[in-house]
Structure 1
Amino acid sequence: MKIGFITSEYPHAKIKYAAGIGTSIKNLAVTLVKKGVNVTVFVYHQEAEVVFLDEGVEIHLIKKKKYKIATWYFYRRHIQKYTNVIVKTKNIQLLEAPDWTGITAFMNFNVPLVIRFHGSDAYFCKLDGRKQKIKNFLFEKLALKKAEAYIAPTTYAGIETQKIFELNKEKIKTIHYGLKLDDFINDSQNVYDRNTILYIGTIIRKKGVLELAEIFNKVIESNPEAKLILIGSDSPDIKTSYTSTYSLMENLFSTKAKKQSNYLGKVPYTEVQNYIKKAHVCVFPSFAETLGMVTIESMALQKPVVNTSIGWAQELIDDGVNGFLVHPRQTDEYATKILELFNNEKLCIEIGKAARKKVEELFDIDNNAEMNIEYYNSIIK
């Protein structure tokens, strides 16, 4: 089997950007290679045109281009032309692309196209209660309508996307993102920095960071030793037009909370695990995700997680068994759960062990890669 992935991100030193989408693609791509699948990854919007091998995956960087008019259209055609040449040369049988911004709108390929619901702009706008630009919606709808089939990381993401774009339910398959579990081992579950809360993710309104500021204010009133560590890129705030969402967050912190918070900005992916292992509790009060890679990574490292209670999260965590689910706007209850974990070491250990078991059952990349192979085969025929 020969598969190609089209993406704007992928974790590698030569690639300028990678987040949850890139991590999930790499986890799958590398595992597929180990199972005998030939994998090619096309990464667009790059600084240079380069081809190289990484862990058995052939990676093509497609240079970003500007045109005198309609760059959005002509650059897509450039990606299509480049990809089709490699598809023909390597006899690639199927391509996969993300739904975000409808990158494959106006593209035509000679092999089936599968679109994975990493999260369209329309999906996030719906969950975030924002109005979407008509152009973005039309691009995403066109791209989705031209695909042969779809993969959703959670059933919730699949159902919501199907409703938004009126897709054929029969063409949507739920296959969770996966982790290479051998890379997520915590041999010292009992060793961590007490009273430390860790948040990993973009500093953006839809991730619930403004609610997190209020939650931390309440935690620190009951536990003055509490600390909050934030990891992730800052971003502009759409609602207020502020250039920095973190500055909005800072303004919400009480004097005590501000002194006990530490925003580290972006941290290399290879170092993130160390911060997770040191954390007492990991928190993800998001309003909009399709799954949330850092949530399952934290669970795999046996950390107690207080997650959002919205849709997709209910497929990751059984509330009170392998983590806690609380709506981000219920700031009192959210703070109470964090304090409960701070004050009960036995509960932290039990929740952490159960979280690891949940990840082993649902998010083992070896098992999930097999599901992808089976589904790809059904499309290739």
Structure 2
Amino acid sequence: MKYKRFAILSTDTKAGGISTMLGVHTVALVSLGYNVSVILPKMSVASKNLDYIASDEKIQKYFTKITFDKWQLYAVKLGLSKWLLRSLSNVDGCFVHNARLIPLIKNIISLPVFAINHTGKESQNRYFLKADLVFSINKNMKNQLIKFGLESSKSILCPNAILNLPNAILKKNKTQIPMIGAIGRMVEKKGFFDFINALKILKLKGIEFKAQIAGDGEQFNKLKQCAKDLPELKFLGWVKNKENFYSNLDIFCQPSLFEPFGLTLIEAMSMSCPVISTNCDGPRDIISSGKNGFLVSKGDPEELALTMIKLLKDKSLRVKMGSQGRDYVEKNYIVKNLSQILQRHISNYYS
């Protein structure tokens, strides 16, 4: 291969889809035989995840991590980019996970820039027009960029993937009382107030249940206050072992008001956990409602509650949805799928 080394660049520091996918994209590229340099903030949550991934000797040989501080990032924005130039001087292309970095890189070095479109924010579309290829994580974002003026050949659908598919499905909650769960950053767009209000509807209807929310964020205290009359609901904070979290659930809910993909959805589905999600762009690509999960309207706790009840009252339906969800993830959302998409379009670009 004439092109052998790629950089992955991100300025993201928080827990979430972008930080997770830095590691997954690294593994996908390394599995194709490429050398990969990941350039990211010292304080990034992804940094520890990458250290864990790099502990695998198969990855370690092809992987380099380069960190920078906030002052170095400011320097790049001001056009003082010697450190970044050094980092990019021996690569054949750069995968960018933050749209605003695209013109910055194009201004300092002649290098192909392959952008990952994680958010679908229309305000960022103008940056993507400067990229050589754009990999969007859902169909609507891909088409939105084409309508905005990006050549269709440069706008590519590239869904996220899970790093490891569980080898064995862990046994679900054995108690008589079913467990309902949700996980994510506790910010407004994640819709956790709707989740809590749906649980309150279950309680008013006399439905017996237990519930858990894993995660943290700016709305943590407000959410706990909202749930003060729900002793059935426990707040777990961030959990280290997600497989254990999902394995304890009988139903997983993603109540987001805005969701470009839905990484937690495919994580739960990979554990054969039946899922309910709001009908956002990302989940709409993943779930065929009534076949491998259920879609409900955004901002509608009553519809969410009624769908929970449908699953709670029918164990065979929970088993069926969980099994079909697992099969769908295994066929569509593993690292092998991501590698194939990247390889096909990298090869086409350089040919």
* Shorter-chain TM-score above 0.5: yes
Q: What residue in structure 2 maps to residue 241 of structure 1? A: none
Q: What residue in structure 2 maps to residue 114 of structure 1? A: 114
| Residues 326-365 of structure 1 aligned to structure 2 (within 5 Å) | 326-365=296-335
Deviation at 1:227, TM superposition (A): 2.0
Distance in structure 2 (CA, Å) of the matches to 1:187 and 1:145: 43
| Residues 145-160 of structure 1 aligned to structure 2 (within 5 Å) | 145-160=129-144
Contact 2:77 2:104 in 1 (8 A): yes
* Secondary structure of 2:213's aligned partner: strand
Is 1:231 paired with 2:204?
A: no
Contact 1:282 1:306 in 2 (8 A): yes
* Secondary structure of 1:264's aligned partner: strand
Is 1:30 paired with 2:27?
A: yes
Deviation at 1:174, TM superposition (A): 0.2
* Equivalent residue in structure 1 for 2:178, among 175, 184, 195: 195
Residues 349 and 161 of structure 1, relative CA distance in 2, 3 Å threshold: same
Q: What residue in structure 2 maps to residue 238 of structure 1? A: none
Distance in structure 2 (CA, Å) of the matches to 1:41 and 1:277: 32
Is 1:246 paired with 2:216?
A: no
Deviation at 1:64, TM superposition (A): 2.0
* Equivalent residue in structure 1 for 2:202, among 200, 205, 219: 219
Q: What residue in structure 1 maps to residue 77 of structure 2? A: 76
Deviation at 1:287, TM superposition (A): 1.7
Q: What residue in structure 2 maps to residue 130 of structure 1? A: none
Residues 192 and 35 of structure 1, relative CA distance in 2, 3 Å threshold: farther
Residues 6 and 248 of structure 1, relative CA distance in 2, 3 Å threshold: same
* Equivalent residue in structure 1 for 2:70, among 64, 67, 88: 64
Structure 1 window deviating more from structure 2 (154-163 vs 351-360): it is 154-163
- In structure 1, the gaps of 5 or more residues are 10-15, 124-136, 236-244
Q: What residue in structure 1 maps to residue 248 of structure 2? A: 278
Q: What residue in structure 2 maps to residue 97 of structure 1? A: 96
Counterpart residue identity of residue 37, structure 1: Y
Counterpart residue identity of residue 2, structure 1: R
Contact 2:102 2:113 in 1 (8 A): no
Contact 2:138 2:159 in 1 (8 A): yes
Contact 2:31 2:339 in 1 (8 A): no
Is 1:184 paired with 2:166?
A: yes
Residues 349 and 332 of structure 1, relative CA distance in 2, 3 Å threshold: same
Deviation at 1:82, TM superposition (A): 2.5
Deviation at 1:191, TM superposition (A): 4.4
Residues 87 and 18 of structure 1, relative CA distance in 2, 3 Å threshold: same
Q: What residue in structure 1 maps to residue 9 of structure 2? A: 6
* Secondary structure of 2:142's aligned partner: helix
Distance in structure 2 (CA, Å) of the matches to 1:44 and 1:103: 13
User: % of aligned pairs identical?
Assistant: 18
Contact 1:321 1:351 in 2 (8 A): yes
Is 1:41 paired with 2:38?
A: yes
Contact 1:42 1:59 in 2 (8 A): yes
Distance in structure 2 (CA, Å) of the matches to 1:6 and 1:192: 44
* Secondary structure of 1:65's aligned partner: helix
Q: Cα RMSD over matched residues?
A: 2.7
Q: What residue in structure 2 maps to residue 325 of structure 1? A: 295
Deviation at 1:371, TM superposition (A): 1.3
Distance in structure 2 (CA, Å) of the matches to 1:63 and 1:189: 44
Counterpart residue identity of residue 133, structure 2: A
Contact 1:180 1:366 in 2 (8 A): no
Distance in structure 2 (CA, Å) of the matches to 1:147 and 1:246: 37
Aligned residues, how many?
335
Contact 1:185 1:301 in 2 (8 A): no
* Secondary structure of 2:259's aligned partner: coil
* Secondary structure of 2:252's aligned partner: strand
Residues 209 and 18 of structure 1, relative CA distance in 2, 3 Å threshold: closer
* Secondary structure of 1:262's aligned partner: strand
Counterpart residue identity of residue 340, structure 1: K
Could you give the per-residue CA deviations for residues 300-335 of structure 1, whole angstroms, max 9, x where no partner exists? Answer: 110000011123212101101110000132322210
Residues 262 and 347 of structure 1, relative CA distance in 2, 3 Å threshold: same
Contact 2:172 2:248 in 1 (8 A): no
Q: What residue in structure 1 maps to residue 191 of structure 2? A: 208
* Secondary structure of 1:24's aligned partner: helix
Residues 305 and 169 of structure 1, relative CA distance in 2, 3 Å threshold: same
Distance in structure 2 (CA, Å) of the matches to 1:213 and 1:362: 31
Contact 2:24 2:161 in 1 (8 A): yes
Q: What residue in structure 1 maps to residue 347 of structure 2? A: 377
Contact 1:192 1:277 in 2 (8 A): no
* Secondary structure of 1:115's aligned partner: strand
Contact 2:278 2:297 in 1 (8 A): yes
Which TM-score applies when normalising by structure 2?
0.86
* Equivalent residue in structure 1 for 2:16, among 16, 19, 27: 19
